[in-house]
Amino acid sequence: MSNTKLPKLISINSNNTDNIEHICEDLDLYGTVVVVTGTKTKEILGKHIENLLYRNFRVKEFIVKIGSTDEVKLLENIDSDFLIAVGGGKTIDVTKVVAYKHNVPFLSVPTTASHDGIASNRASLRSFGQHYSMETDSPIGVIANVDIIKNSPYELISAGCGDIIANITAIKDWELSSKKTGESYSQCISSMTMSLIDSIKTYSNDIKSRNDIGITELIRSLILSGISMSFAGSSRPCSGFEHMFSHAMDQLNSKCFHGHQVAVGALISSYLHDIDWMSIRDLLTFLNIPKNYKELGLSKNLIKKALVLSREIRSDRYTILNEKKDDELIIAAEKTGVI
Ligand SMILES: [Zn+2]
């Protein structure tokens, strides 16, 4: 297991971003800051944060549009003492990579709660239409404004729930690999990660009605899910076959949210692992998370192709895929009602 740096500060409440200036000072962040944000998220929060910082910091701005390696190169050319990512996954991932390469600290200020990359030490970037995952450092602090996040579209919130629910089959794959290949495995990290799914179940009504309690629990779960990967020194606690399936869907140009894709992958994987897939389906239904090709807005054929293509994604990682043939994958998708 790793000794990766963890965030020094995690703040989840409704007015924390108004204190950004003091938060930076408390974390010994001074000098020139680049506020990395998106076109929409600049209007939602990025501009406000820049205005608060002008008094005590030299402020520069960088807009992320697609989350690409080209944007990493452009941001790398801007001198700074620290970075603040204000936005969704693409913005945070570009910031993470630049901060890691140049060994400068960064703050994560998510405007959505759609996946567990908010506080993780991993980033995913686009280059020539492909997605690449890479290791980075975790943010020095995570400042999640509940008021902003609860007003984001519900499909982003349900995607965040899907990314947590998918941990159930990621853990099963990790367990399986430790039995079959002797891969290092931690019961403690598994239990912590599994408890996050219980939290989503317990607070499902609150999450669905987007009240402060529910959204706070979702954000907390996503942050802890990201931190579990730092503890494990790999993405294993949160990424198994269901994530390989999602990456395969990305390669086939699916435009669905990551959290929705991995949730559908988890449904198929739970059938293959012979665990209670029906209770997972019921939870997806309750939270309005897509659970079949129609709700994802895709064709049956794309799902079938993605299942087979999953074998080519991270083939070094032992998962339930290693024990099943292609036709068994298709049958699992049919039996669970995904296709
Ligand atoms: Zn994920």
Q: Is residue 117 part of a domain?
A: yes
* Residue-number span of the structural domain to which 255 is assigned: 154-335
Distance separating alpha carbons of residues 96 and 35, to the nearest angstrom: 13
* CB neighbour burial string for 97-121, b if at least 16 within 10 angstroms, e if fewer: bbbbeeebbbbbbbbbbbbbbbbbb
- What angle is formed at CA 93 by the lines to CA 285 and CA 159, rounded to 5 degrees? 5
Q: Is residue 68 part of a domain?
A: yes
Other Cβ atoms less than 10 A from the Cβ of 153: the count is 10
Distance separating alpha carbons of residues 235 and 272, to the nearest angstrom: 21
- Write down the pLDDT at residue 315: 82
15 and 128 fall within a common domain: yes
114 and 171 fall within a common domain: no
Contact 29, 160 (CB under 8 A): no
Q: Is residue 232 part of a domain?
A: yes
Q: Compute, in angstroms, the gap from residue 242 CA to the centroid of ligand 1.
A: 9
Q: Is residue 1 part of a domain?
A: no
Q: Compute, in angstroms, the gap from residue 83 CA to the centroid of ligand 1.
A: 24
186 and 165 fall within a common domain: yes
42 and 186 fall within a common domain: no
Q: Compute, in angstroms, the gap from residue 14 CA to the centroid of ligand 1.
A: 25
- Write down the pLDDT at residue 170: 98
Distance separating alpha carbons of residues 71 and 62, to the nearest angstrom: 9
The CA-based dihedral angle spanning residues 209, 215, 216, 221, taken in that order and rounded to the nearest 10 degrees: 120
185 and 252 fall within a common domain: yes
Q: Compute, in angstroms, the gap from residue 259 CA to the centroid of ligand 1.
A: 6
- Write down the pLDDT at residue 192: 95
144 and 170 fall within a common domain: no
Q: Compute, in angstroms, the gap from residue 118 CA to the centroid of ligand 1.
A: 11
Domain closes at, from 118, 150, 182: 150
294 and 163 fall within a common domain: yes
- Write down the pLDDT at residue 277: 97
Q: How many domains are there within the chain? A: 2
Q: Compute, in angstroms, the gap from residue 336 CA to the centroid of ligand 1.
A: 21
Whose tokens are 């690999």? That residue is: 177
In the chain, what's the furthest Cα-to-Cα distance? 62
Contact 89, 117 (CB under 8 A): yes
**What's the CATH number where 142 sits?**
3.40.50.1970
Q: Is residue 2 part of a domain?
A: no
**What's the CATH number where 302 sits?**
1.20.1090.10
35 and 175 fall within a common domain: no
- Write down the pLDDT at residue 133: 83
Distance separating alpha carbons of residues 89 and 212, to the nearest angstrom: 22
138 and 34 fall within a common domain: yes
- Write down the pLDDT at residue 329: 97
Question: From first to last of its 339 residues, what are the pLDDT tens digits of the chain?
Answer: 555 678 999 999 998 999 999 999 999 999 999 999 999 999 999 999 999 999 999 999 999 999 989 999 999 999 999 999 999 999 999 999 999 999 999 999 999 999 999 999 899 887 766 777 888 999 999 999 999 999 999 999 999 999 999 999 999 999 999 999 999 999 999 999 999 999 999 999 999 999 999 999 999 999 999 999 989 989 999 999 999 999 999 999 999 999 999 999 999 999 999 999 999 999 999 999 999 999 999 999 999 999 999 998 888 899 999 999 999 999 999 999 999
28 and 119 fall within a common domain: yes
Q: Compute, in angstroms, the gap from residue 159 CA to the centroid of ligand 1.
A: 10
166 and 114 fall within a common domain: no
Q: Compute, in angstroms, the gap from residue 56 CA to the centroid of ligand 1.
A: 36
Q: Compute, in angstroms, the gap from residue 325 CA to the centroid of ligand 1.
A: 24
Q: Is residue 3 part of a domain?
A: no
Q: Compute, in angstroms, the gap from residue 156 CA to the centroid of ligand 1.
A: 13
Domain closes at, from 97, 119, 150: 150
Q: Is residue 222 part of a domain?
A: yes
Domain closes at, from 122, 150, 178: 150
Q: Is residue 4 part of a domain?
A: no
- Write down the pLDDT at residue 317: 92
**CA atoms within 13 Å, Cβ hemisphere of 140:** 18
127 and 77 fall within a common domain: yes
Q: How many residues belong to the chain?
A: 339
